[in-house]
Amino acid sequence: MIEETYKKIMVATDGSELVKKAVDTAVEISRLSGAKLYAVYVIVPTTHSPRDFGWEKASMEYFRKEGESATRYVEDVAKPAGVKVESVLLEGHPADKIVEFAEQQGIEMVVMGTLGKSRLDRFLLGSVAENVVRHSKTPVMVVRG
């Protein structure tokens, strides 16, 4: 039984279909342990030239709405299970921000999926989950999609 083992669990979400299994897992562990669940979405800032006439602002607003939708999904899954959720939107490099948030908030377990929205991202940038596992002082559970 997991009861009273964890008080703070974080699920990192990118809003993809593949993360839904990780969300289900995080909600169930939170339910069993009575932990508060943090739903975290990281917005990757875009940089454009000054001639882009507001493109950066528009793209950041788009990703903020994506993040709100992704974290709302976690809230919607957690509510019937009686799990308290705090949604958090961060900006920066996803792996760095996830590790930093977990350390700053005293998170006791990070739950994440194996692949996000694009397999090309993993080839070009490296897997976010892999980087979190490598750099986190907090235990990380990686759930296969």
* C-alpha distances out from residue 35 to 10, 28, 117, Å: 10, 10, 28
User: Which pLDDT belongs to residue 91?
Assistant: 96
What is the domain extent for residue 67? 8-143
What pTM did the predictor assign?
Answer: 0.86
Q: Which helix (H) or strand (E) holds 39?
A: strand 36-43
Q: Does residue 28 belong to any structural domain of this protein?
A: yes
Q: Are strands 36-43 and 109-113 parallel, antiparallel or unpaired?
A: unpaired
Q: Torsion over CA of 125, 129, 130 and 133, rounded to 10 degrees?
A: 140
The DSSP result for 41-70, as a single string, is: EEE------GGGTTHHHHHHHHHHHHHHHH
Burial class (CB in 10 A: 0-12, 13-18, 19+), 45: exposed
Q: Does residue 69 belong to any structural domain of this protein?
A: yes
Structure tokens at 95: 């792996």
Structure tokens at 18: 């593949």
Q: Does residue 65 belong to any structural domain of this protein?
A: yes
Q: Does residue 3 belong to any structural domain of this protein?
A: no
Q: Does residue 14 belong to any structural domain of this protein?
A: yes
Listed residue (37, 19, 40) closest to 28, CA to CA: 37
- CATH code of 120's domain: 3.40.50.620
User: Which pLDDT belongs to residue 47?
Assistant: 67
Q: Does residue 54 belong to any structural domain of this protein?
A: yes
User: Which pLDDT belongs to residue 49?
Assistant: 58
Tens digit of pLDDT at every position of the chain (145 positions): 555 589 999 999 999 988 999 999 999 999 999 999 999 999 998 765 566 667 778 888 999 999 999 999 999 999 999 999 999 999 999 999 999 999 999 999 999 998 655 555 544 444 899 999 999 999 999 998 7
Q: Does residue 1 belong to any structural domain of this protein?
A: no
User: Which pLDDT belongs to residue 51?
Assistant: 65
Residues 6+ apart with CB under 8 A from 107: 8, 9, 10, 38, 101, 138
Q: Does residue 2 belong to any structural domain of this protein?
A: no
Number of domains composing the chain: 1
